[in-house]
Homo-oligomer: A and B are copies of this chain.
């Protein structure tokens, strides 16, 4: 587990204590902003990269839907310009510059401000967040890292006019972006589910530090996912139930489907968490079983051999043979054989005792109730 950098601590806030609300600072470690625009109608499409805020804003009104994407949040002045041009509340702008926001949907006047978590597996589970502004005929998205996002298939669909995204308004575009982020959670959970199955198989055959520590890592990731996705569920539900005309009732049906996916994701997370917790129990039960087995072996061994050693010690004593009362067995003709028989008798008694207790001879694994179900 690599030590996380300071600004990745989920409790870290960029703004100092007592800073005025709405203070906009560039996100630490983030790159300068690159702005890309997609403006489209059902007939035509305009695409440009590296444009300025002013140019992006100029497209709004000329096209039915404009999607402005901002990669990199290392430049506070760009955010200030967006605030001025598109009328975004300063509190929303402050939230965009802060990592570790909760997922949420907030209305500021006539725009919606939406925050969604995004995850990827780098070294460990890395989380980022997507901030979206939904206006009457535009959607603005803000992300920290430029490349490799999960929106390329969506862009291709817009370019090739696949599905309904070109035929509908900005609310459907917002839904499409949200849906793509939610769909990207499933492969993560598929991978976690496979890992848990592997651990399950491993726990049943051996105990090891690595299993415990990796299982802990999985539980920690599930905790991170749950913390991030739980509020998203509430937020999207609010969007579905909301009466605001900005979102058409037709899009609402699609949002309901998206909500349904988030509920399934939460379900999967909860199930994985319970499975992880069951696996810890299983580990402890197994560990306790094995300790019992180890101790049983030691006890049987020690208990069988210690009396024998005593007998040999007894006949190894050096009492003078002058007295007939001193160790007369040493002078018997069959003294050695007698001592061996004595040892055999003691061993047999001890083994019989342990056999009666069921510690030996009966396979403790035999005959559990039939394996299924």
Contacts and interface: CB of A to CB of B under 8 A. Distances in A.
Contacts of A206: 358, 364
Contacts of A150: 17-18
A292 B288 CA distance: 8
A303 B294 contact: no
Interface stretch (A37-45, A71-79, A192-200): A192-200
Contacts of A264: 100-102
B220 A18 contact: no
Given A121-B372, A214-B371, A190 B12 contact: yes
A344 interface: no
B267 A227 contact: yes
A257 to B, nearest CB: 5
Interface residues of A, number: 152
A22 to B, nearest CB: 8
Majority SS at the chain A contact face: helix
Contacts of A373: 121, 124-125, 191-192, 195, 217-218, 221
Copy number in the complex reads 5
Given A183-B15, A312-B314, A197 B337 contact: no
A298 interface: yes
Contact of A336 (B316, B325, B337, B364): B325
A77 B285 CA distance: 51
A268 interface: yes
Nearest to A256: B106
A91 interface: yes
Interface stretch (A25-33, A58-66, A128-136, A160-168): A160-168
Report the 10 A-B pairs with minimum CB-CB distance, sorted nearest first: A18-B153, A312-B313, A20-B163, A198-B369, A11-B189, A210-B368, A315-B317, A11-B190, A326-B336, A298-B299
